[in-house]
Structure 1
Amino acid sequence: MKRYEKYADDIAELIRSGVLGPGARVPSVRYASQAHGISPSTVFQAYYLLERRGLIRARPRSGYFVNPSVLVQPAQTPREPQVSESTEVDVSELVFSVLDSIKDPNTVPFGSAFPSPLLFPLQRLSRSLASASRDMDPRMVVTDMSPGHPQLRRQIALRYMTSGLMLPMEELLITNGALEALNLCLQAVTEPGDLVAIEAPAFYACLQVLERLKLKAVEIPVHTHDGIDLGILAQTLERYPVKAVWCMTSFQNPSGALMPEARKRELVELLREHQVPLIEDDVYAELYYGPHAPKPAKAFDTDGLVMHCGSFAKSLAPGYRIGWVAAGRYAQKIERLKLMTSLCASMPAQAAIADYLEHGGYDRHLRKLRYALEDQQRAMLAAIGRYFPAQTRVSQPVGGYFLWLELPDSVDSLQVFKVALAQGISIAPGPIFSPTQRFANCIRLNYGSPWNDAAEKAMETLGRIVRSMLGN
């Protein structure tokens, strides 16, 4: 990272954390140059970058100032959280209706689960695919069938190591996307009829997996600032025979919540006391906006109870369907389950990603991707402030690409979904994120596509639809 980028990220973190509030003056060029031992031109480059990202703006003869915050209220934590009853899961029909809504390329994809493919280095990846396929040892297709491409596993292990987490290669298994990894993890530790603690709201794919495996769910509230409610989880573990906990500890889908490291450590310790495994869905881990990557709960695991699942679909290679699991004590069982189901993930796709990670400039791509997503979040928040009712509350995550909106109580998000879709706009209504179809007045919006006039107009239309339902 260049010096001006490093200084820009430091200032951005001060803004993001609230140290430099809306309208605050950022350090003058002269002061910053002297205090940090960098040249004035480096400071100017940093401030130009922050201007382009919309974080600061210049005032003639006055210096640089933090842009005013968007006038939206932060999303609230769940009201009166309490231990919920277990429930059967049956949400697939509702989920499929939402997924069908984004198939039309002319639909504004606010309801999508993926960022725009325009943000990814697909041409560079195709060169890696061609090169890796040409040089691949044909015997590798058979000899490395189950655990995965050795160079890809090595590259993943190296990325764990740079974040301070030393994992043996034997613990890593390459899968057909993170969803297969998550499926395998659940199958390794549950039987039909067992109870799994999940988040509320939870990613709808989690609910579909439980439905398919005939598992029951108990919902644990998620707070938009610090993730799953550990107090309620502790009570649930005392009350019910929970066989596994499935949660997203970083940039939770749909809320965007990031668990602080201290709470991740507390979560792992709580589950260690009860000897309950944690399935950690961490597919958004690389999409953080600050200067430092958040540690996963896996970093605090000493008993091998945490199965850490990741993917390249959200950060590098959508469509390649390459994910992985660091499976702890369950590695051998999960490997055998994979052999019994899908044998192995695509070896050419694995080889291509391995080549890209080694030679393609992955970290450079990630920096550009994070800047783009943060800019797009800022644009969507501003549009919510302009067009939605003043009572609207919205999460303001520091990573990922989703916003969770709590609309006025009288608004039915399923009705918003239907009316918006008729006007060419897809959203994700709140009920698809709960086995009991709660969150009727909530919606999830995806800001993972480059902002343009169509997106702005779609937000204006959505705001008008929501306002029309007030009091109905």
Structure 2
Amino acid sequence: MEIKQQPKSAPYLYLQIAARIEKQIMSEVLKAGDKLPSVRMLCRELGHNMSTVTQAYYELESRSLIETRPRSGYYVSVPPKKRLAVPGTSNPSAEATLHNQDDLITRVHKDSENPNVTLLSLGVPDKSLLPIAKLNKGMLQAMRTLDGSGTAYDHVQGNDKLRREIAKWSLSWGGDLDDTDIITTSGCMNAVAYCLHALTKPGDTVAVESPAYFGILQLTQTMGLNVLELPTNATTGIELEALKKALTQNKIKVCLLISNFNNPCGASMPNEHKKEVVKLLEHFNVPLIEDDLYGDLYFGSNRPTTCKTYDESGMVLYCNSISKTLAPGYRVGWVAPGKFKDQVLRLKLSHSISSTTITSEVVADFLKNGRYENHLRKIRQILHNNSMKYSRAIANYFPESTCVSRPEGGYFLWVELDKDINTLDLYERAIKHNISIAPGRMFSLKQQFDNCLRLSFGLPWSDELEKKIKLLGILINKG
């Protein structure tokens, strides 16, 4: 970035510096996600003092043109004039016809088998974002130290070291867990499945967000459960009044929520909402299965709390894993099931006996030695940059009427197009160009969200990827 030096006597130097940086942002010389020079470096380049340059950056922050990230510096935001509106609160219809999405979901998943397809559809970290060499080193170490080189069964409740490290990690979100509270599982969905089996029987009703993660919808259908989809805000998550009304009017057996950076909207419940949800469900004696799979992928300065943070009665069953942060194929997850621990433990014993021994040991060492936190700092920064760059590209190439979510963590952008655009048709046209998207109808059991899609920003940003998003915009504009 080049900024011509101005005479030191010029008035309001910080405004002049801010104006020149703003010009470069608006002309896209500086693009969303680009890192700005440090205050110290810009002082040296311009010959100004720290106060002047700091004021310039504060001015740009106040205009939402740049943002600061803890221990990282200043980055360009999406310019306000290119910032699209955020989707409104969903309004799922109770009368809408049930719709089976299994075939569509299977097709989208199969796209990952073709190495030529750009996977904007699936929420998994690209292998380039993972510390594979360090994981391999950890695997060798685990084989040397474990009984039978990791071939033996582990304890039913799970690897002792891993459970201790998970309990310590829970302090980051205000948890009050010890190793005896935790049961390891084969990923987060396996944890959720154990919880649902422990709490429900066929015909029971489960309340979820709408739109909802399609994996949860598929799971409930295989178990013969009824699903109540509730209005959800794309920024703050499930609508409290809708939940309260449903609890009053319906015989809800269990509530299942993704509290932080949910899938597919990226919404995160404010702390007060989490407290209120826990209080509401305790009042109605309804357990909450909390999926916090994306909670560690926050873009701000602090890790968000969870509903489990405010659980005093043991009614919250907290589920998580490292599938979206460290190693999807390791299948290492866990659940803190509160007062339902015995039921969940019996289910694990009858369904799988033991978790995977060797991968549990590797993850435990990653947590214990601080490598996990070091890795998270890097992947958070990359995902944050990606989210801004994807958002900028959508603003540049999609119709002006497009709405897109503004997640503060996680992997997903929820995109809402004009009502006359069918994203299933868009998927069919895009896949012919080797672009895979997730049509909105995948995220509901009802015939809705046909004009929406979910895009994952887990792929590394590149000029080629921008061309793919541009092509997607062209396909949308052609209708």
TM range (shorter): 0.7 to 0.9
State the distance in 1 between where 2:67 and 2:163 align: 41
Contact kept? 2:165, 2:367, Cα under 8 Å: yes
User: Structure 2 matches for 1:65-80, cutoff 5 A?
Assistant: 68-69=79-80, 71-78=82-89
State the match for 1:395 in structure 2. 405
How many Å apart are 1:197 and its aligned residue?
Answer: 0.5
User: Structure 2 matches for 1:338-377, cutoff 5 A?
Assistant: 338-359=348-369, 361-377=371-387
Identify which of 195, 217, 242 aligns with 2:252.
Answer: 242
Contact kept? 1:133, 1:351, Cα under 8 Å: no
Identity among equivalent pairs (%): 37
Identify which of 391, 410, 431 aligns with 2:420.
Answer: 410
State the match for 1:4 in structure 2. none
The more displaced of 359-368 and 274-283 is 359-368
Counterpart residue type for residue 325 of structure 1: V
Q: Deviations over 1:69-96 (max 9, x none)?
A: 46132322236x4783698673222211
State the match for 1:232 in structure 2. 242
State the match for 1:301 in structure 2. 311
Identify which of 144, 162, 165 aligns with 1:152.
Answer: 162
How many Å apart are 1:182 and its aligned residue?
Answer: 0.5
User: Structure 2 matches for 1:449-468, cutoff 5 A?
Assistant: 449-468=459-478
SS in 1 for 2:254: strand
TM-score of the aligned structures, taking structure 2 as reference length: 0.83
Task: State the structure with more CA Rg.
Answer: 2
Identify which of 283, 292, 296 aligns with 1:282.
Answer: 292
State the distance in 2 between where 1:467 and 1:64 align: 31
How many Å apart are 1:342 and its aligned residue?
Answer: 1.3
Contact kept? 1:413, 1:443, Cα under 8 Å: yes
Aligned pair in 2 of structure 1 residues 367, 454: CA closer, same or farther (>3 Å)? same
Gaps of 5+ in 1: 1-21, 34-38, 58-62
Counterpart residue type for residue 361 of structure 2: A
1:127 aligns with 2:176: no
State the match for 1:8 in structure 2. none
How many Å apart are 1:100 and its aligned residue?
Answer: 1.3
Identify which of 392, 395, 399 aligns with 1:385.
Answer: 395
SS in 1 for 2:243: helix
How many Å apart are 1:116 and its aligned residue?
Answer: 0.8
State the distance in 2 between where 1:184 and 1:70 align: 47
State the distance in 2 between where 1:220 and 1:125 align: 40
How many Å apart are 1:29 and its aligned residue?
Answer: 4.8
Q: Deviations over 1:39-98 (max 9, x none)?
A: 969x99xx8xx99xx9479xxxxx99977346132322236x478369867322221121
Q: Deviations over 1:337-383 (max 9, x none)?
A: 01111112210000011111122522111111111001111111111
User: Structure 2 matches for 1:245-284, cutoff 5 A?
Assistant: 245-284=255-294
How many Å apart are 1:290 and its aligned residue?
Answer: 0.4
1:137 aligns with 2:142: no
SS in 2 for 1:222: strand
Contact kept? 1:224, 1:257, Cα under 8 Å: yes
State the match for 2:448 in structure 1. 438
Counterpart residue type for residue 68 of structure 1: P
Counterpart residue type for residue 299 of structure 2: Y
TM-score of the aligned structures, taking structure 1 as reference length: 0.84
State the match for 2:171 in structure 1. 161
Contact kept? 2:164, 2:178, Cα under 8 Å: no
Counterpart residue type for residue 72 of structure 1: R
Q: How many residues align?
A: 427
Counterpart residue type for residue 179 of structure 1: M
The more displaced of 385-394 and 102-111 is 102-111
Q: CA RMSD in A?
A: 2.9
State the distance in 1 between where 2:131 and 2:436 align: 26
How many Å apart are 1:456 and its aligned residue?
Answer: 0.7
